[in-house]
């Protein structure tokens, strides 16, 4: 949870050699991206996010 909202994640491919994974929430038709990383493997991204103090 992030600020009492469910956390979602998504991989964004910008170009063939550029991609990111983001953590975000959706509330009242507003998307809030609060974490961006170049770690693309979902399990590794989740572990990295869990090590921050961003989550409730």
Q: pLDDT value at position 26?
A: 97
Q: pLDDT value at position 6?
A: 97
pTM more than 0.85: yes
CA distance 20 to 27: 22
Q: pLDDT value at position 27?
A: 96
For the segment 2-56, what is each residue's pLDDT rounded down to a tens digit? Answer: 999 999 999 999 999 999 999 999 999 999 999 999 999 999 999 999 999 999 9
> DSSP 3-state assignment of 2?
strand
CA distance 49 to 45: 6
Q: pLDDT value at position 38?
A: 97
Q: pLDDT value at position 16?
A: 95
């Amino acid at each position: 949870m992030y600020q009492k909202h469910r956390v979602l994640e998504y991989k964004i491919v910008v170009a063939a050699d550029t991609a990111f994974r983001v953590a975000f929430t959706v509330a009242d038709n507003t998307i809030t991206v609060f974490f961006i990383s170049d770690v693309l493997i979902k399990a590794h991204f989740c572990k990295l996010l869990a090590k921050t103090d961003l989550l409730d």
